[in-house]
Amino acid sequence: MKRIIITGALGQIGTELTDKLMDLYGVDNVLPTDVHKNTDNKLIADKIEILDVRDFERMDELVSEFQPDTILHMAALLSATCEKDPLLAWDINMNGLVNALEVARIHNLKFFTPSSIGSFGDSTPKKNTPQTTIQRPNTMYGVNKVSGELLCDYYYEKFGVDTRGVRFPGLISHIKEPGGGTTDYAVDIFFEAIKTGSYTCFLEEDTYLDMMYIDDAVDAIIQLMETDPSNLSIRNAFNITAISASPKLFYSEIKKHIPDFKVEYDVDPVRQKIADTWPESIDSSEAKKQWGFEPKYDLEKITKTMLDALKVKLK
């Protein structure tokens, strides 16, 4: 990658991804785009262009003007939000993806878009979920993600577009607050531990799901995109993960730092139903073998990093 355009640059992953790319590749070689400009990040605010990913002509215009060699398509609605308005989710997640793939095809760009553990379903093996396995999700988000994986494979096979992707687990960050995901409790719990000393969790305490700290997620995108394509026998999308954890585990780890911290449970049936269809742990060995994926943050390090950062941010 030398010159990069990003959709959804102010989203859950996009903000920190854009920051890291500007640092590595130079501010003038990264063009962030989103549907709004609401950010406290001055570097991004000075560069960002308005783009609704459903607007192909605007996307094509920005690419023609900026002349990138890579598009990182991060714009999407997340799991719980998709269930509230499934038709809007299809419009943004799928029509936006088709537009980005078409732009990549026309302008011969390298292409990345994330999939998710939400692409799995009830019939997927729950533990040590394989890289290649049955995928029959029963949520609109899951349908979008598995359809996106197949569509990216199609563009690679049919048109030779250099498509790449990963299946992200739940992502944890102190920069961006939650945006409608089923794993959002793993961010909320840290914010509330510092702000109020207590948290009401919307998932059952023993609900195990895969998680990852945002720095590992950002590094994974860059590492995959910089990998020699001859090393890749898989394109869309690699399983990646760092930890398998439950609300109870996060609670126990936080109490080591904040002994008086308390957690109660008020289960949201919509998000619990979604979580119950996702894996408890996934096998990321192919990502490690093919492009050297290796997360740096375990539960202990995630907890300390989040609490230390939020003590400063929320003081």
Are residues 111 and 77 located together in one domain of the fold? Answer: yes
pLDDT of 78 strictly over 90 = no
Q: Contact, 182 vs 274, CB < 8 A? A: yes
Indicate the residue type of 141: Y
Of 41-55, 180-194, 230-244, 252-266, the one with minimum mean pLDDT is 180-194
Which helix (DSSP H) or strand (DSSP E) does residue 211 occupy? strand 209-213
**Any domain includes 185:** yes
CA 179/CA 160 separation, integer angstroms = 34
CA nearest 32: which of 5, 13, 54?
5
CA 142/CA 116 separation, integer angstroms = 8
**Any domain includes 175:** yes
Are residues 198 and 90 located together in one domain of the fold? Answer: no
Residue 286 is predicted with a pLDDT of 98
213 is catalytic: no
Are residues 79 and 200 located together in one domain of the fold? Answer: no
Query: Confidence band (pLDDT; 50, 70, 90) for 178?
Result: low
Of 30-34, 181-185, 220-224, 236-240, the one with minimum mean pLDDT is 181-185
**Any domain includes 39:** yes
Residue 164 is predicted with a pLDDT of 98
Instruction: Identify the CATH number of the domain in which residue 36 sits.
Output: 3.40.50.720
Q: Contact, 50 vs 107, CB < 8 A? A: no
Mean pLDDT of 25-34: 98
Are residues 10 and 121 located together in one domain of the fold? Answer: yes
Does this model's pTM top 0.85? My answer is yes
Domain span at 180: 171-211+242-280+296-313
Are residues 183 and 263 located together in one domain of the fold? Answer: yes
pLDDT of 197 strictly over 80 = yes
pLDDT of 11 strictly over 80 = yes
3-state helix, strand, coil in the chain (%, to 5): 45, 15, 35
* Average pLDDT of the chain, as a whole number: 95
Are residues 15 and 55 located together in one domain of the fold? Answer: yes
**Percentage of the chain modeled with pLDDT above 70:** 99
Are residues 226 and 300 located together in one domain of the fold? Answer: no
Q: Contact, 170 vs 209, CB < 8 A? A: yes
How many folded domains does the chain comprise? Answer: 2
Question: Residue 237, preceding bond cis, omega within 30 degrees?
Answer: yes
**Any domain includes 198:** yes
**Any domain includes 25:** yes
CA 242/CA 38 separation, integer angstroms = 31
| Choice among 141, 155, 156, 297 that is catalytic | 141
What tens digit of pLDDT does each residue of 135-162 get? 999 999 999 999 999 999 999 999 999 9
CA 114/CA 167 separation, integer angstroms = 6
CA 36/CA 8 separation, integer angstroms = 9
Are residues 217 and 302 located together in one domain of the fold? Answer: no
**Any domain includes 196:** yes
pLDDT of 34 strictly over 90 = yes
**Any domain includes 225:** yes
Are residues 32 and 56 located together in one domain of the fold? Answer: yes
Mean pLDDT of 221-239: 96
Residue 109 is predicted with a pLDDT of 98
Are residues 182 and 228 located together in one domain of the fold? Answer: no
**Any domain includes 267:** yes
Q: Contact, 3 vs 68, CB < 8 A? A: yes
pLDDT of 182 strictly over 90 = no
Q: The tokens of 50 are what?
A: 């308005």
Are residues 25 and 153 located together in one domain of the fold? Answer: yes
User: Could you identify the residue written with the tokens 């096998």?
Assistant: 283
Q: Contact, 79 vs 182, CB < 8 A? A: yes
Tell which phi-psi region holds residue 308, choosing left (phi > 0), alpha (psi between -120 and 50) or beta: alpha
Instruction: Identify the CATH number of the domain in which residue 193 sits.
Output: 3.90.25
Of 69-73, 182-186, 287-291, the one with minimum mean pLDDT is 182-186
What tens digit of pLDDT does each residue of 92-132 get? 999 999 999 999 999 999 999 999 999 999 999 999 999 99
Are residues 110 and 183 located together in one domain of the fold? Answer: no
Q: The tokens of 11 are what?
A: 């989203």
Residue 302 is predicted with a pLDDT of 98
